[in-house]
Amino acid sequence: MIAFYTDRLSACPGEPVQIFASDDSGGPCTLEIARVGADRRVFDTVAGIAPGHHPTPDNADTAGCDWPLAHTFTIGSDWPTGYYDLALTNAAGERWHHFVCVRPARGEKTAKALLVLATNTYHAYNYWGGRSAYCDVGALMSGRKRLPDAMAGAIGVLSTRRPFPQAIIAAPDDVPRLANLRPRGFGERPWASDPTWRLRAQMTPYDGSAGFLNKWEHRFVEWAESEGIALDYATDRDIECEPAMLDGYAAVMVVGHSEYWTAGQRDAIEAYVDGGGNFAIFSGNTAFWKVRFDDGGASFICHKWRGFEDDPAASADAAQGTHLWSHNAFARPEAAITGLTFLFGGYHRLGLCAARGQGGYTVYDSLHWSLAGTDLYYGDLIAPELPLLGYENDGCRFTFGSDGVPRAVPTLGVPENLEIVAIAPCAFGEEPGSPYPPIIPPENLDIIARDVFGDPAYATSPGIIRGHAVMASFRRGRGEVFNCGTTEWAHALAARDPFVTRITRNVLSRFGID
């Protein structure tokens, strides 16, 4: 078997990247470095790398692999910014993938827009060595534990010094979307995505939720490059470590599943928007969890639901805790910067969550600037046949005005000046008491009711799981935020849906990306 990881996930031209590898084939390995966008372009090939075989420690998921250095390469001065696939092939023909985000040269910008890769989400789902922030995946897939017990084995300290599972970081081109492409039939048992494909590919329930290749970010980049839209690239960690890098961009954007944010990353994006920057969110479940890095970036801290019980740093300083951004201890719900929250949204066309859902947004504010030239009017559905909606979606509470347009209820950080464009029902969890076995892992509604809403009794209210996906925008400081409200937006762009394409172009044009 061959596997490897790097000392960093991003680098600028002229900077070194170190590879730490293990291979039991006994022969030399070849490294291929290729930028992946609308096409795959190889920038370097290095032969004769001999990593040798090194065991994976039992605690690799929390403490890392500590493998010796196998090779160092330098980012070329002529390598354009982007996502670079690193593929190491051994003498037996086995191949392992990792990646590096190539940023523009320090102090330079090559585009008006910055795409922030959701690498914190990659870390949270990484179960190399057995466990992730979600589950003891190794025990689940081997059959040693059933799902509830395996989920109880999730870890809150995750090493960044280990490989990524290949189904996360190098999914095949035909990996299915995290959405049921058709409504559930009468009396039909609920399902999630394409269970037959996943069983055949031996994918875990967590493989589809993170990663670039053939997932949301890749699909968005393919579309952008085909439209002639230039992008600079950075990672979540870059934004935290170098917040000034945002200065001067007309727009910053996140795509797909930007679920995990550090305090430093959030500080940087808020300062950028308040100072006049534009923030485009083509994502769902955005900024849901507060996380942090320790040990100079070697440890990713993500205790999730046990963010205060299991974290010594949180005991000393609540601000260091890792939990829901909407937790009352932080007094800083994510909707204050995103406009929306997963707590008021949920799932669509997945399991029993809106299993017969409409699949697209219903337009309410047809005069909103994002719909200019779309030929969309009040009551129209946006891309239901794709479907546009699926997997995870963000929303808000609202009432209706006398003009029939929904008005945001300013609660849990949702801004009063939020302009709601379109909505669709979704669910934060599956209905209790149904005759079907649950598919979506249940959220900890008791913790949400107590620590977010301050009312333990709310955990049993139907309203806690009944929500809406929302597309909206709002002004903040001297800047503006647009939020598409769903993870699945990029798939609609990949399908060349004319309505979603025009809306996206309207957002980019308003935000100075022509």
pLDDT at 443: 83
Pair (371, 489) in one structural domain: yes
What's the whole-number mean pLDDT along residues 333-347? 98
Asked if residues 352 and 436 have their Cβ atoms less than 8 Å apart, the reply is: yes
Domain membership of residue 500 (yes or no) is yes
Q: Are residues 431 and 307 in the same domain?
A: yes
Residues 352 and 493 in one domain: yes
Verify that 440 and 314 share a domain, yes or no.
yes
In the three-class reduction of DSSP (H, G, I as helix; E, B as strand; rest coil), residue 287 is classed as coil
| pLDDT at 74 (0 to 100) | 98
- Does the pLDDT at position 442 exceed 80? no
Asked if 248 and 388 sit in the same domain, the reply is yes
Instruction: Determine the average pLDDT of the residues in 161-168.
Output: 98
Q: Mean pLDDT across the stretch 209-231?
A: 98
pLDDT of 225: 98
Q: What CATH number does residue 449 fall under?
A: 3.40.50
Tell which residue, 79, 62, 73, 65, has the closest CA to residue 19.
Answer: 73
Q: What would the pLDDT profile of 282-336 be if each residue is shown by its tens digit?
A: 999 999 999 999 999 999 999 999 999 999 999 889 999 999 999 999 999 999 9
Reference 119, options 137, 96, 98; nearest CA is 98
| Planar angle of CA 49, 126, 335, nearest 5 degrees | 135
**Does 418 reside within a domain?**
yes
Number of domains observed in the structure of the chain: 2
Residue 514: pLDDT band with limits 50, 70, 90: confident
3-state secondary structure of 193: coil
Q: Of the candidates 378, 386, 467, which has an alpha carbon nearest to the alpha carbon of residue 424?
A: 467
Mean pLDDT of 255-267: 98
pLDDT tens figures, 451-487: 999 999 999 999 999 999 999 999 999 999 999 999 9
Q: 84, 79, 73: which is closest to 21 by C-alpha?
A: 73
Domain that holds residue 428: 216-510
pTM: 0.97
Q: Which of 106, 125, 153 is the last residue of a domain?
A: 106
Choose one of 106, 134, 163: the last residue of a domain. 106
> How much is the average pLDDT of 170-198?
95
* Each residue's pLDDT tens digit, 33-63: 999 999 999 999 999 999 999 999 999 999 9
Does 200 map to a domain? no
Domain assignment present for 42: yes
Q: Does residue 387 have a cis peptide bond before it, meaning omega lies within 30 degrees of 0? A: yes
Give the pLDDT of residue 24: 94
**Residue 147, domain member (yes or no):** no
* Same domain? 97 vs 237: no
Of 106, 122, 138, the position where a domain reaches its end is 106
Residue 401 lies in a domain: yes
Q: Is the pLDDT of residue 185 over 90?
A: yes
Q: What percent of the chain has pLDDT over 70?
A: 100
Q: Is residue 331 part of a domain?
A: yes
158, part of any domain:
no
Burial degree of 375 (CB within 10 A; 0-12, 13-18, 19+):
exposed
Considering the chain, what is the average pLDDT of its residues? 97
**Residue 190, pLDDT score:** 96
Q: In the prediction, which pLDDT does 261 show? A: 98
Q: Grade residue 144 by pLDDT with cuts at 50, 70 and 90.
A: very high
What CATH number is attached to the domain comprising 57? Answer: 2.60.40.1930
Same domain, 280 and 419: yes
> How sure is the predictor about 441, in pLDDT bands with cuts at 50, 70 and 90?
confident
**Which amino acid is it at 203?**
M
Residue burial 294-325, b: 16+ Cβ < 10 Å; e: rest: eeeeebbbbbbbebbeebeebeeeeebbbbbb
